[in-house]
A and B are shown apart, each in its own frame.
Chain A
Amino acid sequence: MSFFLQLLINGLSIGFLYGLSAMGFVMIFKSSSVLNFAHGELLALGAFFFLAMITWAQLPIAVAFLVTLVGCFILGFFIERFFLRPLIGEHLIYVIMLTVGLASMFKGIMLLVWGGNLQTYPEFLPKFLSIQWDVINIPPVYSAAIIIGMIFLILFGIFFKYSSQGIFMRSVADNQKAALSLGVHVQRVFALSWAIAALVAGMSGIVLGVINGINVHDLSAIGLKVFPVVILGGLDSIGGAIIGGLIIGVLETFTGGYLSPSLRDVVPYIILVFILMVKPYGLFGLKEIERV
């Protein structure tokens, strides 16, 4: 039983991280319908930037964190401005491949600068965040991750529901042309959504880096794990991303624990195919009706 509980807790915490990583992805898809294959690299960039701020610039943790978030925000803005904006209205494959190209460019840069080895942050989280209850042991990182994730989730909920930019984003996602004709500055909306998504990605990257250490290859692999998560949750649902992440995380640890460790990495994709065949719009995604 305690094995089961430990697996469940592990799964939930990993899943929450998946969900957190997927949030930025969903954000981009929601506003600009771009499938971002460079998401893993965005995570890694955030993590490395934070590392550089701490070790190289010697900034205090809080300042480094803020600087990283701002840096990611600007980076997202630039990506949209210089790479994706020329492709508005282009065929899907060009957009997909552009993000693939970005992914390998970023990866190349990061490998050149930081190399392919595992790096770690210095210990900085306060101990009181650690939760110990019977057999269940939650390290401080996870509680920090859950707190941060919750804050972002609530902020996003408010942002999309009440702020004018959030409503613009939703309108653009629904119908670009109509939004344009109503005076929505579509390009600004795209830029903003990329910037916010990069910010969220950077933040998730830091959390992942604290837990697993920072490694380009591992983090970009997480970028691929995002796909089963978002398909399960529904490509355009931020809450769905979190729930999808939790489900995938739990399934992963259970297959790892009860079946075989090697199956662990492939199970999410088997589920992915299954969901796509049965319910392609996911648990919380919007179903588009096609008219003839």
Chain B
Amino acid sequence: MKAYRGKPSIFKSNNPDEKKVADLEVRNLSLNFGGVKALNDVTISVHNGELVAIIGPNGAGKTSLLNCITGFYKSQKGRIFFNGKDITNLPPHHLVRIGIGRTFQNIELFPGMTVLSNLLLARHNHCKYRISPASLFLSSVREEEIRHRRVLEELIDFLEIQAIRKKKVGSLPYGLMKRVELGRALALEPALLILDEPFAGMNLEEKEDMVRFLTEMNQAWGQTMILVEHDMSIVMSISKRIVVLNFGEKLAEGAPDEVRDNIEVIKAYLGDTGRV
């Protein structure tokens, strides 16, 4: 299925003066759960237009790091800056407002709602009307709802999910759910998009589709992204820069080739064989 594809309007800024800039800086972040150190003194930075991948063995603290950036965990030490503004420990909904959108590792869609309502939900912060006009459903409210619907339809075209837009999310196969979740994160119009294992549990074909969407978003429309993923071949092929975490500490950082040949990284993944 190939529909007309233009640049979806969420990638054009509504206000031409205000460009979507996403510069994230994480400085010396530490996070403890009781006595367990989930993150220890992690420093990373993401610049506008980049696609940065975070990899590491299970339990390395990748998801914890994302949860700190998106406000779901409160870090004990260190600061996080977004576009020069200190965003450490702000609540998640506030971070969404300033332009950090995310997907979840285990799909967190609303299974009882249709795909369209799931996407509409993400437009929450972009609906500007207040409760008094909404309670009367004035024409201004109606027009705004229609405007959002139009934005979402472009997104639906882009993600090629036209056929399922009125289906209940719970009835969809896993790969499509992941795609809908990506759509929902995009509908937030985030400056920085954070994807937590978008390829997990997908078959090859679904992975190829997903890679296509991600590269198009990043390279053609300049979407800034952080990607946590286990599939090395994908990570190596689409990201410009890779950060490796192990036991909550940053092990290495650099271009895919550098990381691949890094002895520390090989040790972390394959175990210390003593031969390398």
Q: Do chains A and B touch in the complex (CB under 8 A)?
A: yes
Is B48 interfacial (CB 8 A cutoff)? no
Instruction: Report the separation of the CA atoms of residues A292 and B73 in the bound assembly, to the nearest whole angstrom.
Output: 9
Query: Main SS of the interface on chain B?
Result: loop
Is B40 interfacial (CB 8 A cutoff)? no
Which residue on A lies nearest to B92, using beta carbons? A292
Instruction: Report the separation of the CA atoms of residues A289 and B105 in the bound assembly, to the nearest whole angstrom.
Output: 17
Which residue on B lies nearest to A290, using beta carbons? B72
Number of A residues whose C-beta is below 8 Å from B?
A: 2
**What sequence of 0s and 1s flags, for each residue 71-106 of chain B, a beta carbon within 8 Å of any chain A beta carbon?**
011000000000000000000000000000000110
Which residue on A lies nearest to B66, using beta carbons? A292
Instruction: Report the separation of the CA atoms of residues A292 and B69 in the bound assembly, to the nearest whole angstrom.
Output: 13
Is B114 interfacial (CB 8 A cutoff)? no
Number of B residues whose C-beta is below 8 Å from A?
A: 7
Instruction: Report the separation of the CA atoms of residues A292 and B63 in the bound assembly, to the nearest whole angstrom.
Output: 8
Which residue on A lies nearest to B64, using beta carbons? A292
Is B162 interfacial (CB 8 A cutoff)? no
- Chain A residues near B105 (CB-CB < 8 A): 292
Which residue on A lies nearest to B105, using beta carbons? A292
Is B215 interfacial (CB 8 A cutoff)? no
Is B67 interfacial (CB 8 A cutoff)? yes
**What sequence of 0s and 1s flags, for each residue 253-292 of chain A, a beta carbon within 8 Å of any chain B beta carbon?**
0000000000000000000000000000000000001001
Instruction: Report the separation of the CA atoms of residues A289 and B36 in the bound assembly, to the nearest whole angstrom.
Output: 14
Contacting residues of chain B (32-82) with chain A, CB-CB under 8 angstroms: 33, 63, 67, 72-73
- Chain B residues near A289 (CB-CB < 8 A): 33
Chain B min CB distance to A88 (Å): 19
Chain A min CB distance to B99 (Å): 20
Can you name 7 A-B residue pairings with CB atoms under 8 Å? Answer: A289-B33, A292-B63, A292-B67, A292-B72, A292-B73, A292-B104, A292-B105
Residues of B within 8 A of A (CB): 33, 63, 67, 72-73, 104-105
